[in-house]
Amino acid sequence: MTDTPRTADALIDELTLEEQVSLLSGQDFWSVNPIPRLGIGTLRVTDGPNGARGGGGLIGGVSAAAFPVGIALGATWDPELAEEIGAALADEVKSKSAHVSLAPTVNIQRSVTNGRNFECYSEDPELTAQLGAAYVRGLQGKGIAATMKHYAGNESEIERTTMSSDISERAMREIYLRPFEAAVKEAGIWALMSAYNKLNGTYASENPWLLDEVLRGDWGYDGIVMSDWFGSHSTAETVKAGLDLEMPGPTRDRGEKLVAAVQAGEVSAEVVRTRALAVLRLMERVGLLEGEHPFEEVADDRPETRALIRRAGAAGTVMLKNDGLLPLSLPKGQIAVIGPNAKAARIMGGGSAQLNPHYSVSPWQGLAERLGESALTFAPGCTNHRWEPIWQGPLKAEFFEGTELSGEPVHSEEMASAEAFWVPPVANGKVNPTRFSARLTGSFTPEETGPYRFGIHATGPARMLVDGKVVADAMSDFTRGRTFFEEGSDEVVGEVNLEAGRSYEVTAEFAASEGKMLTFSALRAGIGQPLGDDAIAEAARIAGEAETALVFVGRSGEWDTEGSDLEDIRLPGRQDELVAAVCAANPRTVVVLQTGGPVEMPWLGEAAAVLQAWYPGQEAGNAIADVLFGDAEPGGRLPQTFPLRIEDNPTWTNDPTVYPGVDGHVRYQEGVFTGHRHYDAKGIAPLFPFGFGLSYASFALSGLSVTAAEDGAEARLTVENTSGRAGSTVVQLYVGAEAPPVERPARELKTFAKVALEPGERRELVLPLPARAFAYFDETAGDWHVAPGRYTVLAGTSAADLPLTATLELADARLPR
């Protein structure tokens, strides 16, 4: 430890070339090499964005607080809340002895089927930009680096590690780069993560236009760019293009290879110094130039964090329909609690965002806490899982050298369930991480006699056996599919009739294989019981006998997950049938949806009320109950348009080059006409428009005026709570050019304000509209152009409800990049 603070600029030239190079790649999966000689500590990162995961893999580890997912935070339309959540997450990162959060995710929701939409904020660049910048300020205000991702053009999970997103510069500047630009210019972000995909034919991790010309040149960025995990593909090219840090370690493309490249003249020593200085600057910002910090992960379950998560869950819940049934009063009769998501706590999506929560509250638990279980009846009605429910332990896992499951095991351990994500070192380093095999053994005792389904998928050959007989075989013909980030097989399922009360020996066997792109091994095995017509009939029966029916349907992190796009936006399984049957049995039916994006709703006309609760974090059931009974406002507004049918969404076309892509290229044909801009341009009425959401209070907007200002314009209007109940609304301002020189959307969201008012309260809002709010990116001139002419400013509460308008004449202006 030194007595006085040191700086990166003062230290950089004390490092040898080899030491500088050592800073440019990870030392292991989650950390960067220290330099003990100079008292430079180990930089540690942890996955986000809805928490700070403990442990070395995606499963298990030290528990952590689970916050609402990205789209739920997007639905709050509340940058102040996003900043508050960022600050709370900084404390979570510190509890895991990390210095960098791999968050937030700000890719644009280009389609309705992207498996990672749940992790992103919105279809709209301005909403995403304001929320993302606020989140970054919250994290970095407490000394934790944010890592905004994925830079850029990662809007699909199909062949995402190799696909080229072919996007015009105008669309990049106006849509896909806007959140990153705001993070750099308005929040001073310290780290970005490059995307896996190529952009216009060049990998994002070695794209000079992205990393050098735009990021550092146009925006003046002084932070680092790290690769996504295993997303670096070269030595000289990535270093020269502007990729500072290759992750994870140990290095594949740098180290001795980079030293040799410098010695051979392929990379200049000055470029290496620049990259190392960027990493040192990050270390300085998070306090690592003063020596090694002790590593200790703790489960820091704070009451104030619980309260924040509960409040944020309600703030993002969107009320899509209410025929007067909500908020509920204390029931006089029974409440029927129905659906596959009623007793399951759907708190987060899947992939690298998932974590081991301190706890999770299901809707059933939240309602039981409020009303007592005696007031509730339950029926699942149907299932909605993508994979069979996880086989629960205790299980014994034995590991073998080689892939043949032969010889004596070299390591054994206990597992709580048949779900594993193995990153090096595997089995305490006793096996080669790409050339080992494992056997999981345990038992299963069914409660009922009948057919049971056994399912398995893995990143290498795998199978399940019951009493020594193979029932699900993904081993004899292993084929990669849509699981485990496209490294794993699709689930293989077999069905067996079992007797109630009898214990069966169950075995899962696995052999590791070389990854296509990523280096890890994973397995998931499950056992489930099919549900049929009788289950839907039982749900309808209890609904008919109840005062009110609450139906909890949707998806889960099995569907909304990194590594796999959705195939459609219908509710999985027989959930639509279930909702229709319950609505027919009881007109007082509330449907609570939990999904990571839009769904079709063929039963919408029959339901009395519909809430979209997303994946709101560990307090899910409590937050939902708060909204149902009116303790909290349904504060959310849609951050993504809900189309009537999948065919209406912006990427639906008969041309597969537009989506999902052909021959390694996906063409962003719609250009700047994303999200609500698309529905306006095509004249398509959505099921629910962007920005839509109902309140328990009512509001009126009036008096919109717009005047020119030194940098753009200033809008004024009045919002009034016209009800007898306190509540909140989101005032949204859109701008449209009347006679633009290029094709532009009819209207674009440019600013917004979430406003909470007491009964009868009026408030005047003053909303700035900078010059960029009126500009388009001129690809020919290479700058932002405010074309001379008349502009219309529209104010309202959704993209389809803009009752107030005002016009403004602006002179010709050119704005820098």
Q: Give catalytic residues, as residue numbers.
A: 228
Cα separation, 315 vs 75, whole angstroms: 8
Cα separation, 698 vs 465, whole angstroms: 59
560 alpha-carbon distance from chain centroid: 9
Cα separation, 34 vs 55, whole angstroms: 20
Packing angle of the helix pair 256-263, 269-285 (nearest 10 deg): 140
If one counts every other C-beta atom within 10 angstroms of the C-beta of residue 79, the result is 21
DSSP element (H, E) containing 815: strand 813-815
Q: Which two tokens stand for residue 740?
A: 């633009």
User: Coil, helix or strand for 44?
Assistant: strand
Q: Where are the strands (E) in 514-652, listed by range?
A: 521-528, 548-554, 589-594, 609-612
Q: Which two tokens stand for residue 617?
A: 């974090």
Q: Is 271 left (phi over 0), alpha (psi -120 to 50) or beta?
A: alpha
Q: Which two tokens stand for residue 183?
A: 């993070």
Q: Which two tokens stand for residue 623?
A: 């937050």
Cα separation, 492 vs 514, whole angstroms: 20
Pairing of β 712-721 and β 762-769: antiparallel
Packing angle of the helix pair 303-315, 620-628 (nearest 10 deg): 50
Cα separation, 199 vs 435, whole angstroms: 34
Q: Compute CA distances 764 → 79, 376, 810, whole Å.
A: 19, 45, 25
DSSP string, 472-514: EEESTT----SBTTTTBPPPEEEEEEE-TT--EEEEEEEE---
With vertex at residue 564, the alpha carbon angle to CA 561 and CA 569, rounded to the nearest 5 degrees, is: 80
Where do we find the tokens 């504060």? Answer: 635
Cα separation, 453 vs 309, whole angstroms: 36
CB 335 within 8 A of CB 548: yes
Q: Compute CA distances 388 → 55, 456, 528, 769, whole Å.
A: 26, 8, 5, 51
Cα separation, 776 vs 739, whole angstroms: 13
User: Coil, helix or strand for 587?
Assistant: coil
Bridge partners (DSSP) of residue 497 are 451
CB 758 within 8 A of CB 749: no
Pairing of β 145-151 and β 191-194: parallel
Q: Considering all CA atoms of the chain, what is the largest pairwise distance in Å, rounded to the nearest integer?
A: 82
Number of H helices, E strands in the chain: 17, 36
Cα separation, 781 vs 371, whole angstroms: 64
CB 466 within 8 A of CB 505: yes
Pairing of β 419-422 and β 521-528: antiparallel
Q: Helical H runs in 384-532?
A: none
Q: Helical H runs in 586-642?
A: 620-628
Cα separation, 93 vs 484, whole angstroms: 25
